[in-house]
Amino acid sequence: MRIAIVGGGVAGSYLASLMANKHDIVIYERQSYEKFYTVCAWGTSLPELRKLSSKIGLNFDDYVLFAGKRMIVQLRDEELEIPLKGLCTFDKRRFVMDMHKGKEIIYGEAVRTAPTDKYDLVVDATGFSRSLLPRVGKDYFIPTLEYKVKYRNPPLDDFMVRPLPGLTGYLWYFPLDNGYAHVGAG
């Protein structure tokens, strides 16, 4: 079967990796190869990603930047420390780019109409942007702002979140490696 996957992020690349030996797959990615960037603070479940990665021939431990021991939760009147069981940050771009290896990928192509004349199946794996599928009615989203920050002396040694008033989002600090962290709010 000839399959087009629109979106070369984590979901589209993983799907392509699972099906690559059984089908003729083409990934369409709107970003250029040079500017390809995957959004989000890159926090995930280490045990689960180890399982999923092994199904596509990757060792997830090769991508781990920081394995958390505790989550600091800063509430208005108190600070909690919650023990963690597997929360980590990882080199998401390298992970996705390694999934791209050996696949036919068309970078810099923003697909707006499903190319059904050339494929037996077209998958929209564009996440929130939804290039082909209609937006979800009553979809709930919170705008976010995130920076990758280099610290000479990092202010924290583990994960931290601070819920915003009314539980409308949270501020976060997610350690990476070598003094870097993702810091954001949304």
> Distances from the Cα of 116 to the Cαs of 2, 6, 18, in angstroms?
10, 12, 22
What's the CA gap between 60 and 43, in Å, rounded?
13
3-class DSSP state for residue 4? Answer: strand
Rounded to an integer, what distance in angstroms lies between the CA atom of residue 185 and that of residue 170?
6
pLDDT of residue 41: 66
Quick check: is 60 in a domain?
no
pTM of the model: 0.91
Largest CA distance in the chain: 60
- Residue 53 in domain: no
Q: With respect to residue 61, please indicate whether it lies within any of the assigned structural domains.
A: no
Tokens of 78: 């108190």
In a domain, 70, yes or no: yes
Q: Are residues 99 and 179 in the same domain?
A: no
Nearest Cα to 155, choosing from 170, 169, 175, 171?
A: 175
Question: What's the pLDDT score for residue 38?
Answer: 86
At what angle are helices 10-19 and 92-100 packed, to 10 degrees? 30
Give mean pLDDT in consecutive 10-residue pieces for the chain, a chain of 186 residues. 97 97 97 90 93 98 98 96 98 97 96 93 91 85 90 98 90 97 95
For the chain, the domain total comes to 2
Structural domain harbouring 98: 1-42+91-140
| pLDDT of the residue at 128 | 81
Q: Which residue in the block uniquely carries the two structure tokens 């597997």?
A: 86
Task: Name residue, tokens 């699972």.
Answer: 18
**146 and 163 housed in the same domain:** yes
